[in-house]
Amino acid sequence: MTSDYPDWQRAFRIVGTEITIPINITASAVTIPVAIQSSAVTINVRFVSQAVTLWVGITASVITLDVNIESQTANINFTFADQSVAVFDAAKWFAHTAAQKYIVGSGGVPPGVFTVLASRTVPSGATFFITGMSFGVDGGSGMTVAIADLRIDAVSLMYVGWLPSGALIFDVPIRATANQVVDMRIKNVGGAAGSVAYGGFWGYDEV
């Protein structure tokens, strides 16, 4: 049997230097108009609902807004009234916050065989998005073609070859999930036995 709750409405005003208000509401419909005037405001909000309509108006000299939305469909309308506004995609945002991951390596690469140059295991609870790779081979006096092989769990995703080095930026990041091993192999074609390779790949984690 489902309990029926009576309708309830009350206006209240709170004045204080520090205010903490935990609210737990169970209802078929909830409307909460909020107006806050304060030197500093921190609001953490989590909604679990079939439908959410959220109107937010913020007037402040500095605004930091972090939004995490998990939904089958999301419609977001932004209206900016500001002297400067920066909107980042994921890769640029993680670079902006100095949170990118760089996996590099160097070592000898015998001619004619693939040698793993750089490797990373994706941390538990994270997804690694790979956004680029670069490499080069110092093959001594011989003519060297460097072939790079990017892999996830020993499965080759792509081969890239240049004479004797190169780089590739991915327009669409390559995705590796938690605990998968990402590595880049180098093959030295035509270089001397003492050839040395340098390079790696980079991207960002989402948790």
β-sheet bridge partners, residue 85: none
The two three-digit tokens of residue 93, written as one number: 């945002």
- Minimum mean pLDDT among 1-10, 68-77, 117-126, 143-152: which range? 1-10
Please count the other Cβ atoms lying within 10 Å of the Cβ belonging to residue 172.
Answer: 7
Q: Does the pLDDT value for residue 130 go beyond 80? A: yes
The model's confidence at residue 33, banded by pLDDT at 50, 70 and 90, is confident
Q: Does the pLDDT value for residue 133 go beyond 80? A: yes
The two three-digit tokens of residue 10, written as one number: 């009350």
Triad 158, 161, 165: Cα angle to 5°: 125
Q: Does the pLDDT value for residue 12 go beyond 80? A: no
Pairing of β 114-121 and β 127-138: unpaired
Report whether 56 contacts 45 (CB < 8 A).
no
According to the model, what pLDDT value does residue 51 have?
75
DSSP-derived 3-state class of residue 27: coil
Q: How many residues does the chain have?
A: 207
pLDDT digits (tens, 9 = 90+) for 161-177: 888 888 899 989 999 99
Q: Is the pTM of this model over 0.75?
A: no
- CA dist 189 and 161 (Å) reads 10
According to the model, what pLDDT value does residue 13 have?
73
Chain mean pLDDT for the chain? 83
Q: What is the mean pLDDT of residues 32-36?
A: 75
Start-to-end CA distance of the chain, whole Å, equals 40
Domains and CATH numbers, the chain: 100-206 (2.60.120.380)
According to the model, what pLDDT value does residue 107 have?
93
Which sign, positive or negative, has the C-alpha torsion 119, 121, 123, 129?
positive
Who contacts 173 (Cβ-Cβ below 8 Å, separation ≥6)? 90, 91, 129, 130, 131, 203
Percentage of the chain modeled with pLDDT above 90: 32
